Amino acid sequence: MADVTFTVDGKKLTAPAGTLLIDACKAVGIEIPAFCYYPGLSLQAACRMCVVRIEKMPKLQTACTTTVAEGMVVQTETDEIKQARKATIELLLGNHPLDCPVCDAGGECELQDMTFKYGAAESKYVEIKQHREEQQWSPVVFFDRPRCILCYRCVRVCGEGMDVWALGIQNRGVSAVIAPNGQDHLECEECGMCIDICPVGALTSGTYRYKTRPWEMTHVATICTHCGDGCKTTLGTRRSNDGMEIVRGDNRDKSGINGDFLCIKGRYAFDFANRTERLTKPLVRQADGQFKEASWSEAIDFAAKRLREIRESKGGQAIGVIGSNRTTNEENYLLQKFARTVLGTNNIDHHRTVDYVSFAAALAGKSERTASLRDTANAPAILLLGNDPTEQHPALAWNLRSNVRLNRARIYIANHAEIKLRRQAKQFLEIPKDGYASLVQYLAGNDSVVAANEQTAAFRDAIRKEESLLIIFGSEFRGRDIQALVEFGLSLPNTKFVLLGDYANSRGAADMGLLPDTLPGYVPVASAAHFADEYGAVLPQNAGLDLLQMFDAAQSGNLAALYVVGSNPVTRYGVDPAVLKNTFVIVQDMFLTETAQLADVVFPAANLYEKAGTVTNTYGDIQLVKKAADKAGVRSDFELIVRLADRMGADLKKLVPFGRGVRADMGQTRGAQSGEADRHSVWLAAHGLEPKLSPFDPFATLDEIQRLVPSYSFSRLELLAGSDQHAKSELVQISAAPARRDLVLPSQDTLFTSGTLGRYSDKLKEVLDSHTTPKPVEAAAD
Amino acid sequence: MSTPATTIFSPETAARFDRLVTLYPVRRSALIPMLLYAQDEVGYISDEVVKEVAQRIGITELDVRNVLSYYSMLRTKPAGKYNIQVCTNISCMLRGGYEILEHCKQRLGIGHKEVTPDGQFSLEEVECIGACCWAPAIQVNYDFYDELTPEKMDAVLEEYKTGRGKETR
Ligand code: SF4
Ligand code: SF4
Ligand code: SF4
Ligand code: FES
Ligand code: FES
């Protein structure tokens, strides 16, 4: 819209006509207080805090509902306005308990800030405050009625934002109260958005309430370890007896690719890290078959010695390596390098949740064809094939809903189930479970493959009319189907693609070559020349065993050793424990998982919240992971791989390009008492410096990745500054895909599960239980 | 958003509801009339009423409760056969509305929003019922009685006790 010029507090401002006054002011640094206004949600004008004086208008006006107009003259902070705001706060405080000293929100409460600013702590009211007891509405949501200022933010974010509509408002006037849909409990997606958005401490979280105060925590923004969306979550940590404990997860600065959003997992499912049964000492299986705790050097020596023996006697092909969907890119890269150069094997794989290899092959050489998660929030038209983002990609679902609401995006969905997002879809097509490939053929113009009818025809016509289309698809597409879908997409004018994989770094695992036939960047193992040069080693040329073949080999006695990093294939693939009885198994994990129980050596590993590095979400957005928590007795997978390599006699300088002569420990090898050293690295990071002084420094490996994997040639500076970088698909050096074995096993996670890791989250378990055994409805909550 | 296969309402009311939802530009506008008719038929807004009304309009039960709890003339518990609503708003207050209320409390032995043990009467203190010119006024179910005194009030109660009164249900 055309720009208009207006005056605020004597300053001449310009903004597009139609801009809300409150936003126009904010853009130039004039802050107008607001409780009920929230950008992106519908206007409420319930609180009257944003009142301003506009010349030629009677009475004070609400800046949150007034759009700027040519020649408008506005005052935002006069005595009259101050008085009005003070009076508003006095009214709000009429029933407010003023229990800031114990309230969770104390210290980051908008009402507290405003009361300080306008000085309304004393009240003229003598009426007795209406009190109601705190209520628990779900395992994660608690409601403290007296603190509520009835701003309706929670109601709107749950309804408009989440499309859950679980919160309402009941009664009226002074008795008005926020109410949950189950009368005395919530039946909802447990996202915690309502808690996050509450300007006061009326909605509080089951994980954090009454635990600590905001200023007593250290806040570290890092990437969620759960699904493939890669949201930024801010972890509030506090010193505990054995390191740094996570007390809270939230979306503090909203600077991540997820914008306002976090789902239950990013917000509350960090508690696995604090579980008491976490492994903190290496375990070595004794002659009697029992595990015994061992020191680090004993355990590492023991494992390295056995691996060396096996390599020497049987060769690398007798060793298998299984990587993780949640370790960093640097760790994945290092693991494949370790496998290929130190163990001498291409027998390396991971639990594949989608077919990234075929996707990379289909898009080889095409630039600007993959979309960022950010793009899903503003693409004008989206075709969603398969998957159920509400359950499996909550941030994507949020973006799609917002995109429809705020930008009138057109979403076309074809699915074999009536997924919830169909409520936002312009057109929804229900197709058979095995009908995805035929649908693509049909869309491409082949009428004979589906039972075409008016609805399918309208669907196809609408899609073909779109001038720019974002195609998002799930694990329903593999191999040739991906090829066909991409070909169809490329036949349209302006298409981008997203393949939806399941975990925090599933994409990174594939990108970094945790695969038996491709090196990092999908370079086929047979044409490994520049890797061999850089590594200064001869690399095995033939494709190795994939994950299933490794277990087959174990069964037939041909796999002498198996090294499993952060993965639980025994449960995931239903492996019979007997299969591994003659295989020497090394497992790195947080817990004694079903796989770890079969191991000969178990190393206690750190999780994604306890290390630094990068991860790549399923869209190809590469983001910085920062170390937030710490636990005495665990080591990062990176460190463990390096130490194992060291004891196997590998040249560390070749494995990790660190140092160049300088030696110092900047805290990377820290134990529980490492505050000092960690502060050094914080200081260095703050000054844009990266210490790469120890072989345990993942950023030295990132240097190598950036040298050897062209699609990861992003700006390091931007990454360190906390922005997401997009992988460049055109620089993937894959050749046209030969037929590959389909090894995709979708994880089938829901909103409340997260593979093996999810089973170790008490909060997720509690929520799952509460959703499977519904509470009987009793009397109304209020 | 559908007509339920089985309904808790009488055929007439069900038919009326079928029509009501078609009368307005948006279906949810039918909510308040539906609740009022449902209350007349069932006596109060039961959980079953909430459920069916929500289903008929295509909104959540929470939506229904949000509106239901806003309006004081909609009740979620059964009232007496004769629901006596005594106005104590300003005109009535000035002309003895509170005396009438007190009198009713004494005579019936119940307080605001209570029901007599035999279920015959219930009592409610209400805001202006639009009969200010003839204050003090009361409403029994849908019938008005005005320019009341305690004696006249007794007569009214007596009438109902002997079963003359019109029932809404
Ligand atoms: S937790 Fe999420 S889904 Fe549940 S009530 Fe709050 S906003 Fe709604
Ligand atoms: S609970 Fe919080 S967000 Fe919801 S209306 Fe009350 S103050 Fe606003
Ligand atoms: S949407 Fe995915 S990445 Fe985001 S918070 Fe939830 S689980 Fe984590
Ligand atoms: S912010 Fe404008 S009325 Fe609440
Ligand atoms: S004040 Fe009682 S009827 Fe109006």
Statement to judge: residues B141 and B94 lie in one domain: yes
Residue A224 token pair: 């969620």
pLDDT tens digits for range A375-404: 999 999 999 999 999 999 999 999 999 999
pLDDT value, residue A206: 93
Statement to judge: residues B64 and B32 lie in one domain: yes
For A509-583, strand residue ranges (E) read 518-519, 523-524, 561-565
CA A286 from chain center: how many Å?
40
Residue A85 has pLDDT above 80, yes or no: yes
pLDDT tens digits for range A187-227: 999 999 999 999 999 999 999 999 999 999 999 999 999 99
Q: How many domains does chain B have?
A: 2
Statement to judge: residues B47 and B120 lie in one domain: no
Mean pLDDT of A714-725: 85
Question: Any residues with CB less than 8 A from the CB of A324 and at least 6 apart, and which?
Answer: A331, A332, A350, A505, A509, A565, A566, A567, A637
Q: How many residues belong to chain B?
A: 169
Q: What are phi and psi for residue A322, nearest 5 degrees?
A: -120, 125
B77 inside domain? no
Statement to judge: residues B65 and B100 lie in one domain: no
pLDDT value, residue A740: 63
Domain region containing B163: 82-168
Residue A721 has pLDDT above 90, yes or no: no
- The residue ranking higher by pLDDT, A755 or A528, is A755
Residue A682 has pLDDT above 70, yes or no: no
- Can you tell me the distance from the alpha carbon of A683 to that of A678, in angstroms, rounded to the nearest whole number? 9
Confidence of residue A781 (pLDDT cuts 50, 70, 90): very low
B83: closest CA among B110, B103, B59? B110
Predicted TM-score (pTM) of the model is 0.91
Mean pLDDT of A235-242: 92
Strands of the sheet with A3-8, listed across from one edge? A11-16, A3-8, A73-75, A51-54, A61-62
Statement to judge: residues B58 and B130 lie in one domain: no
B2 inside domain? no
Least confident of A595-609, A650-664, B65-79: A650-664
Q: Do B60 and A165 touch (CB under 8 A)?
A: yes
Instruction: Give the residue extent of every domain in chain A.
Output: 3-77, 110-274, 283-353+507-659+691-732, 371-463+471-489+496-500
Ligand that comes closest to the CA of residue A153? 2
Boundary of a domain, candidates B70, B93, B114: B70
Q: What is the CATH number of domain A371-463+471-489+496-500?
A: 3.40.228.10
- Can you tell me the distance from the alpha carbon of A111 to that of A200, in angstroms, rounded to the nearest whole number? 6
**Chain B residues whose beta carbon lies within 8 Å of the beta carbon of residue A171:** 69-70
- The residue ranking higher by pLDDT, A679 or A460, is A460
Number of Cβ within 10 Å of residue A277's Cβ equals 9
Statement to judge: residues B89 and B155 lie in one domain: yes
Residue A244 token pair: 């740094």
Residue A664 has pLDDT above 80, yes or no: no
Distances (CA, A) of A318 to A49, A346, A513: 71, 10, 19
B88 inside domain? yes
Residue A673 has pLDDT above 50, yes or no: no
A636: closest CA among A610, A616, A614, A662? A610
Which atom of ligand 5 sits closest to the CA of residue B90? 1
Q: Average model confidence (pLDDT) for chain B?
A: 92
pLDDT value, residue A728: 84
Residue B128 C-alpha to ligand 5 middle, in angstroms? 4
Mean pLDDT of A739-748: 82
Q: Do domains A3-77 and A283-353+507-659+691-732 have the same CATH topology?
A: no
Statement to judge: residues B94 and B126 lie in one domain: yes
Question: Any residues with CB less than 8 A from the CB of A113 and at least 6 apart, and which?
Answer: none
Instruction: Supply the CATH number for residue B35's domain.
Output: 1.10.10
pLDDT tens digits for range B70-94: 998 899 999 999 999 999 999 999 9
Instruction: Supply the CATH number for residue B102's domain.
Output: 3.40.30.10
Q: Average model confidence (pLDDT) for chain A?
A: 91
**Chain B residues whose beta carbon lies within 8 Å of the beta carbon of residue A170:** 65-66, 69-70
B101 inside domain? yes
A146 — contact with chain B (CB < 8 Å)? no
Q: Which CATH class is domain A110-274?
A: alpha beta
pLDDT tens digits for range A731-742: 776 665 556 677
Residue B90 C-alpha to ligand 5 middle, in angstroms? 6
pLDDT value, residue A735: 63
Statement to judge: residues B40 and B88 lie in one domain: no
pLDDT value, residue A663: 45
Distances (CA, A) of A484 to A123, A489, A493, B111: 70, 9, 16, 76
pLDDT value, residue A670: 47
B6 inside domain? no
Residue A780 has pLDDT above 60, yes or no: no
Residue A162 C-alpha to ligand 1 middle, in angstroms? 7
Ligand that comes closest to the CA of residue A623? 3
Nearest C-alpha in B relative to A186:
B62
Boundary of a domain, candidates B70, B95, B114: B70
Topology of the domain covering A3-77:
Ubiquitin-like (UB roll) (3.10.20)
Question: Any residues with CB less than 8 A from the CB of A439 and at least 6 apart, and which?
Answer: A385, A414, A429, A431, A450
Angle at A405 between CA A400 and CA A410, to 5 degrees: 60
Confidence of residue A779 (pLDDT cuts 50, 70, 90): very low
User: DSSP letter string over A40-107?
Assistant: TSPP---S-TTEEEETTSSS-EETTTPBP-TT-EEESS-HHHHHHHHHHHHHHTTS----TTT-TTTT
Residue A782 has pLDDT above 50, yes or no: no
Mean pLDDT of A555-576: 95
- Can you tell me the distance from the alpha carbon of A283 to that of B103, in angstroms, rounded to the nearest whole number? 83
Distances (CA, A) of A565 to A348, A509, A569: 11, 12, 10
Statement to judge: residues B58 and B27 lie in one domain: yes
User: DSSP letter string over A645-697?
Assistant: HHHTT--HHHHS---SS-----STT--TT-HHHHHHHHHHHHTT-----STT-
- Can you tell me the distance from the alpha carbon of A171 to that of A734, in angstroms, rounded to the nearest whole number? 63
Boundary of a domain, candidates B48, B70, B92: B70
Hey, which of A247-256, A735-744, A751-760 has the most confident mean pLDDT? A751-760
Statement to judge: residues B113 and B58 lie in one domain: no
A683 — contact with chain B (CB < 8 Å)? no
Residue A672 has pLDDT above 60, yes or no: no
Statement to judge: residues B89 and B164 lie in one domain: yes
- Can you tell me the distance from the alpha carbon of B115 to that of A511, in angstroms, rounded to the nearest whole number? 73
CATH for the A283-353+507-659+691-732 domain, from 3.40.50.740, 3.40.50.720, 3.90.226.10, 1.10.3720.10:
3.40.50.740
Statement to judge: residues B98 and B155 lie in one domain: yes
pLDDT value, residue B99: 95
Residue A676 has pLDDT above 60, yes or no: no
- Can you tell me the distance from the alpha carbon of A528 to that of A514, in angstroms, rounded to the nearest whole number? 15
Assess contact for A619 and A373: CB atoms under 8 A: yes
B3 inside domain? no
pLDDT tens digits for range A31-71: 999 999 999 999 999 999 999 999 999 999 999 999 999 99
* ipTM score assigned to the predicted complex: 0.85
pLDDT value, residue A730: 73
- d(CA A169, nearest CA chain B) in Å: 6
% of chain A exceeding 90 in pLDDT: 79
Nearest C-alpha in B relative to A187:
B62
